[in-house]
Structure 1
């Protein structure tokens, strides 16, 4: 009756051999191509370092003004701008400015990379049902895979540092960007597309002048979700050398520093609320503009 209580499984020796074979092949791949992969990501490392230097070495009043100006142009809401100012002042007052700027630079680079990769994939998915059927299960796996698991292959390939952490964050955060780009383009009104065809637009003109502008509010929602997921990954990425607010939180967990963990955790929440409110307000403005023009 053992088969009734114990699920039938592969022979232990065969299972051990399979796992060992996969591990050895991955190690061999890492030894053979690790240096080449590392050099491929060198420009990304330079971009990240440049963004971090700008955010950490520029005087805080200039950074504050730049953030507030960006918040105003995106939201046109005095309440949101004042909320951003208050959040930044509190972060600076509690001596978390440098770590916060490192985190913001990391999120900025992750977002740029996610948009640069996710937007073309989302466009491709929207144009082909076959591509959508292939990519959707991959995105399902990416969204349900525990975030710690992403660190294993990345660290084995690239070691500990900023770039491995950045890649892990992008892999974790990019699915909403792809999905909502696809969704936004597919939801464009068919009558509008027929009108564009009647005016003799080709495929690229229709994409860039009709579909993408009309899908922009949905795409902005994708960017918003990507930023939120990237921030959620900050603490986990700090385990492999990503500097920022995640490292003090990790230190607080290891040494039971309650206030250190709470303060830095609240700083992450503050940044998340800032990004969320500004990007949502911008998305609503785009939506209102679209309804005014095409309503």
Structure 2
């Protein structure tokens, strides 16, 4: 006895196309508006202004040495003629990461608050992470056609699991003493979540966001096969023409963008988490000190 899973999947896809076309059009319109808006803003920014923004961010969040590297690396990207392609890729990464956060953060919180939700969602995340990336391009193209929108949707599906998993993990690993202190001061469930659990789980959450950005960057290059654009087109052209130089230039541009985004997002998680933890400790220790003094 055999089971033809492929036919079942094809039937399900055809059913969705026949019965949920308005919903698919709405999703495409929303994601298209986000992606096109970010892309238009980045492409409208002159190269010197964009470079200055990246350098200032690197100087503020990481340090002078990394700011110098950012300036030299982006200068190289511009002189390879890939600045516009990098901005297109960055817009896809930012849009994909934003959508993944909007869906993934609440889902991770729900998993942390309910073991039943975690038991249901965890196998789905396993499937999303282990499915070959190219497989996501097929339904994305069938449901949403070709272009940036299906590329963004495929990227969201591929890159969302880390932010969900690490949000769940970070909240579950918050020290019991912090939660007991919040309850002792009369925190409601939302107050406990937003003022105690999320601030202390922020290092883990930011690590998840960092990994989502990295996965998004790898996926948007693959998504060039369905017309997503950006640096992926350069790499794809190099493959099609067996042009090692063109492919290498596209690969270097991807590496430069990945390093810059990785270092900046890592610094955000570490500094903000430390600041919030200090504020929380100050607030919880102040009443105890006043009681001891009295």
Determine the C-alpha separation between the residues in 2 that align with 1:25 and 1:95: 44
Aligned residue for 2:205? 219
Structure-2 change in CA distance of 1:36 and 1:189 (3 Å):
closer
Structure-2 change in CA distance of 1:200 and 1:238 (3 Å):
same
Determine the C-alpha separation between the residues in 2 that align with 1:85 and 1:122: 36
SS at match of 1:101: helix
The Cα offsets for residues 102-157 of structure 1, whole Å up to 9 and x where unpaired, read as 01111111111111111100111110111111111110111000001111111111
Whether 2:87 is the aligned partner of 1:101: answer yes
Q: Does structure 2 retain, via aligned residues, the 8 Å contact 1:34–1:158? A: no
Aligned residue for 2:215? 229
Determine the C-alpha separation between the residues in 1 that align with 2:94 and 2:105: 16
Aligned residue for 1:280? 266
Say which of 178, 186, 193 aligns to 1:200.
Answer: 186
The Cα offsets for residues 67-119 of structure 1, whole Å up to 9 and x where unpaired, read as 223333433x1222222212111101111101001011111111111111111
User: What is the Cα deviation at residue 161 of structure 1?
Assistant: 1.4
Aligned residue for 2:121? 135
Say which of 28, 33, 45 aligns to 2:20.
Answer: 33
Structure-2 change in CA distance of 1:211 and 1:46 (3 Å):
same
TM (norm. structure 2) is 0.90
Q: Does structure 2 retain, via aligned residues, the 8 Å contact 1:172–1:230? A: yes
SS at match of 2:20: helix
Aligned residue for 2:288? none
Trace 1:34-183 onto structure 2 (pairs within 5 A): 34-75=21-62, 77-183=63-169
Q: Does structure 1 retain, via aligned residues, the 8 Å contact 2:234–2:250? A: yes
User: Any stretches of 5+ residues in structure 1 without a counterpart?
Assistant: 1-8
Determine the C-alpha separation between the residues in 2 that align with 1:63 and 1:150: 32
Determine the C-alpha separation between the residues in 2 that align with 1:265 and 1:274: 14
Aligned residue for 2:290? none
Q: Does structure 2 retain, via aligned residues, the 8 Å contact 1:249–1:264? A: yes
Q: Does structure 2 retain, via aligned residues, the 8 Å contact 1:80–1:278? A: no
User: What is the Cα deviation at residue 21 of structure 1?
Assistant: 5.1
Large movers: runs of 4+ above 6 Å? none
Q: Does structure 2 retain, via aligned residues, the 8 Å contact 1:238–1:250? A: yes
Say which of 221, 231, 235 aligns to 1:245.
Answer: 231
User: What is the Cα deviation at residue 289 of structure 1?
Assistant: 3.4
User: Any stretches of 5+ residues in structure 2 without a counterpart?
Assistant: 283-294
